[in-house]
Chains A and B, each alone.
Chain A
C-alpha cells in the first residue's frame, strides 16, 4: 500500500502537466465533422432578394402612412420545398431569467423564443413584414391601426386575437421594461377580434416598428392558464414549440404541426430544422471550443475576443452583423469643469481614437462613427458629420485654450460599468487622455447602482450608448429626453437653446428636415457628446448553416428556423 501512494501522486502530477500542455499546444483545425455542404436545394431556399417592402418612414420625416402592409409575400421560403429536417445545435452566450413572453426585454430570450412566441412584425431585408399582423397603418400623429391575420392559434389551441395584444401590452407594466421604447405604448383599444388601435406617446415611426417587432406575444388564456405564467414552459403561436427548458443551461425547440400560418412565409415564420437544441455558454473559451469542434453549428453573440480564432477556422463562417446601436462619450453638462468649457470638451474628444478603441475592445469589429446618428436610420442624413476626429496635437492645443496648459489641473471622472467591455473601453479612454496630459479617474459602478449614480451627477464623462437604428427620434430621445422629475436629461443637458430646437422637433409633425438639421448643427457646434463607434455582433456558422437569416435590425437577432442543412 505504501508503494502505491507515491505512484498515485505521480500520476496526478502527470495528469496536471498534461492538461497544462494541452492548453499550450496549438489548436488543430477541427476536422469537418459536419455533414457535407448543403446541397443545391439549400441555395434555392435562401436569400432570394425578393421585393422587400420599402422602409416605411420617408426621408423628409413626414408622417409615414401605410407600409406595404400586405408585406407577407417578401423573400419567400416555401417551407414545404426546403430540405428541412434534422437537428441543429445552437450556442448562445448568455442565459436569461424566465421564459415568459411578458418580460424584461432580453436579446437572448428573443433569439431563443422568437419562433415559439411571435411578434406582430418582423424585420426583414431592410424593412418590416407582418407576422401576426396582416396590415398596419398610421391613422393619426400618435395612433396606428393594426389588423391581425384571421385564425391565429397557439400550440395549445387558444385563439389569438386583438384582445390578447391588449393584454400583453398592458401586462408589460407589471414587469420591468428595460427596453425603453416600451414606455412609448400609451394604450390599446380593441375594435374587433382582429383589429385594434395602438396609441403611442410619440409620433416616431421607428418606435412603432420596434415595439411591433420586439414585443413577444402570447394569448391571455395561455398566460393565465399556466401555473407560473409561462415562466418555464412557453406556449405561443409560432412554428416551434419548446419541449425542454432548463433555465440557465439549455432549451430544446421542436417543429410543430398545426402552425396557423400557411402559404408564403416571411423569414420569421420559416421552420426548417425539426429540432433546435440551444445551449447557453457564458464562458468564452467554452464557446470557441464548441465552435471549433462542431458541437455548436450556429453560435450567437460570440465574444470578439476570439474573433481571430474563428476567422481562421475551416468549415466555419464568421459573420459580423451591425447591431443597430451607437456608442459614444457623454459629457455632464451641469456644474462640472466640462460643462461650460467647450474647449475642454473638444480637447477630450480630439484625444480619443475610435479606431484604437475598436481594435482594443472588439478586435477591429466595429465601425467608427463619423457622424451623429446611425446610417441605417431612415431619416439619417450622411452630411451630419462630426467636426472632431482623432488628433492628439489638436487636443493639446484645445487643452491649453481651455485653461489647462500641458494638462496641469485637468482631471476628469469617468463613470463606467466595472465589468465587461465597458471596463476595457474605460481603460483605453484613460490611456488616451493620459497621452495628452489629462488625468482620468474612474468611478466604477456595478449595474445595480449605475442609474442612481449617474443621476447624482458627480462625474464628468460617461459611456453613452443606445439604440438608434430605426429613426433619429429614438436616437435623440435617449440623449436629450427629459425626466419629468428633475427636468433634465440623463446627461443633464439644460441649455434652453438646445431644447428650443429639440421641443420643436419632438412635437407632432416636427420631424422635418429643417428641424433635424438644426439639431445636428447644435450638436456639432457645441460638442455635447462625442460619437465613437457602432458595434457589431459575431455569429459563427458551420458549413451547411451559413444561409441562416441574421437580420441586421436591432440587436442582430437570428431567425433560427431559416437554417437549412
Chain B
C-alpha cells in the first residue's frame, strides 16, 4: 500500500508539469497579450512592440517556457503583468477565501446529496423517491448566479438575516456557500441513489434483514459504505467545478477569490497570473483526487487488489 501511495504521489509531478506546458501553450497560441490592456486606447504597434520587449513577450516559445520554468524552480511566480503586484502574495490572500467557500459547499453538497439519494433509494419509485429527485434536480436546473440572486433577495433583502455581499465573519460565507452547494446536490443524490440501489438487493443486505438488524443500521452501516465508492469519486470531481468555476459566485458576492483573479487574468492575458492560478488549482485538484483514490482503495479491498494486480500485468 505504501508503495502505491508513493507511486501515486510521484505521478502528481508529471501531471502538473503537463498542465503547465499545456496551459502555457494555450496562452501562447491565444491571440492578444497584456499589451492591449495595458495600453488601452493609446495602443499603437510601436508602443505595443516596445512593451512586449519590456515584458519579454517577444522571445520564442521555448525561451519563454524555459524562463518561466526556471523561475518556478526558484519558487518565483512573478508579478502580475498588468498591476505589478507579486502573484504569490495575491494568491496567498485569495486562495483561503475560495477554499473556505469551496470546502464548505462541498461538505453541504455531500451531506444533502447523500441524504436525498439514500431517501430516494430506500423508497424507490414511491413519492419520496420522486420528490427527492425533483428537489435535487432544482439545484441543477438553473445557473448558479440565479440561485445566488434568489438567495440574496430572500435572506438578505427581505428577511435581513444575512449580509448580501463582502467579506467578514462567518455570516458572510453562508449565502455564497449555499448558492454554490445547490448545483452539485442533484448529481450526488442521483449517484448515491443508484449506488445504493445496486447494493440494495445484494446478499449481505438480505442476510442483515433476515438477521433482524434495524433498518437504520442496515442503511447506514451496511449499504452506504459499500455504495460510497462512486459517490466519493463524484465528490472529488465536484472540486474542479468549485475551485475554478466559483468565479460567478465570487462576482455576485464581491468575494475576491481565485476564480475572479483567474478570469480577470485570462481576459487580460496576464500570463503570470493565469499560470500561477492554474498550477495551484490543478495541484490542489490532483491532490484531492489522489486522496479520493486512496480512500477508495482503503475502503474497498477489491480495488486495492486491482491496482496491485495491474502493476504486474503487462498490457493485455
Please report A residues at the B interface, Cβ cutoff 8 Å: 1-2, 5-6, 8-10, 12-13, 16, 18-20, 22-23, 27, 95, 97-98, 100, 103-104, 175-180, 183, 228-229, 231-232, 246-250, 279-283, 285-286, 289-290, 292-293, 295, 446-452, 455, 466, 478, 483-486
| Neighbour of A176 across the interface among B38, B152, B251, CB < 8 A | B38
The reply on B293 being an interface residue by CB < 8 A is no
Residue from the list A6, A177, A232 in contact with B40, Cβ < 8 A: A177
Q: Is the CB of B45 within 8 A of A448?
A: no
Residues in B with CB closer than 8 Å to A281 are 165, 254
How far apart sit A408 and B252, CA to CA, in the bound complex (Å)? 46
- When the two chains form their complex, are residues B164 and A289 in contact, meaning their CB atoms are under 8 A apart? yes
Partner of A485, one of B46, B119, B164: B46
Q: Which of B119-155 contact A (CB under 8 A)?
A: 119, 122-123, 128, 131-132, 134-135, 138, 145, 147, 149-154
Interface residue tally of chain B, by bracket?
35 or more
User: Max chain A CB contacts within 10 Å: which of B152, B153, B253?
Assistant: B153
7 A-B interface contacts by CB (under 8 A)? A2-B123, A22-B153, A98-B83, A175-B84, A179-B40, A285-B152, A484-B44
Cβ–Cβ contact B40 & A10, under 8 A: no
B296 CB to closest chain A CB, in angstroms?
26
Taking Cβ atoms with an 8 Å cutoff, the residues of B that contact A are 31-34, 36-46, 48, 51, 80, 82-86, 89-90, 93, 112, 115-116, 118-119, 122-123, 128, 131-132, 134-135, 138, 145, 147, 149-154, 156-158, 160, 164-167, 215-216, 219, 251-256, 260, 264, 267-269
Chain B proximity of A94: nearest CB distance (Å): 10
Pairwise interchain contact A448-B37, C-beta atoms closer than 8 A: yes
> Given known contacts A247-B90, A484-B46, what 8 new A-B pairs fall within 8 Å (CB)?
A9-B128, A97-B83, A228-B89, A279-B254, A286-B254, A448-B32, A448-B267, A448-B269
Q: Which residues on A sit within 8 Å (CB–CB) of B267? A: 446-448
Q: Is the CB of A176 within 8 A of B153?
A: no
Q: Which residues of B contact A283 (CB under 8 A)?
A: 145, 149, 165, 251-254
**Among A279, A446, A451, which residue has the most Cβ atoms of chain B within 10 A?**
A451
Number of A-B contacts (CB under 8 A): 193
Q: Are A293 and B138 in contact (CB under 8 A)?
A: no
Given contacts A10-B131, A98-B84, contact A289 B260 (CB under 8 A): no
| B254→A5 contact, CB < 8 A | no
- With beta carbons under 8 angstroms apart, the residue of B36, B89, B90 that contacts A448 is B36
Most buried by B among A10, A97, A293, A485: A97
| Contact between chains at A449 and B256 (CB < 8 Å) | no
Partner among B45, B85, B153, B255 whose Cβ is within 8 Å of the Cβ of A23: B153
Q: Distance in Å from the Cβ of A102 to the closest Cβ of chain B?
A: 9
Across the interface, which residues of A come within 8 angstroms of B37, CB to CB? Answer: 176, 178, 447-448
Taking the nearest CB of chain A, how far is it from the CB of B92, in angstroms?
A: 12
Most chain A CB within a 10 A radius of its CB, from B116, B151, B166: B166
Nearest CB in chain B: distance from A173 CB, A: 10
What are the residues of chain A within 8 A of B167 when measuring CB–CB? 246, 249-250
Alpha-carbon distance between A194 and B46 when the two chains are bound, in angstroms: 36
